[in-house]
Amino acid sequence: MSNSASDPTDLIDTTNLAQALEKFATDRNWSQFHSPKNLVMALTGEVGELSEIFQWMSEADSMKAGQNPATAQDVKDELADVLLYLVRLASVLNVDLNEAVTQKIKANEQKYPVANSLGVSTKYNKK
């Protein structure tokens, strides 16, 4: 985790959030529970809750779920929960998320060249 000022070319800056979560856990003496193994399970729980919002929804309705008053707050809350645990997990693992996504996007650009990938979802499915 860098403490330096954010670089405007960074893809993502999670510095303040990571610090807020560290303080939140330390204030409550919760760091003892935050092993990466435990946090991956907590992340799984939150992705499960996100999935429950969408499970019986058509794809078309899912496009509107962020604005639909019946689901908007739940969607926002569950996206937040997933993000909180993901950033906390990266912190305790000492992984720089900006570096990780920057590398990954470069790798994906080589793995899925535009010419071969145009509109072909099946490219996604094979590793």
- What is the rounded end-to-end Cα distance, in angstroms, of the chain? 30
Return the structure tokens found at 35: 């092993």
Return the structure tokens found at 100: 């990780």
84 binds its own copies (CB under 8 A): yes
Q: Whose Cβ is closer to its own copies: residue 2's or residue 105's?
A: 105
Instruction: Give ∠ CA 50-40-44 in degrees, rounded to 5.
Output: 25
88 binds its own copies (CB under 8 A): no
| Rounded Cα distance, 10 and 8, in Å | 6
95 binds its own copies (CB under 8 A): yes
66 binds its own copies (CB under 8 A): yes
106 binds its own copies (CB under 8 A): no
Q: Restricting to residues 32-51, which ones interact with its own copies according to CB under 8 A?
A: 32-33, 35-38, 40-51
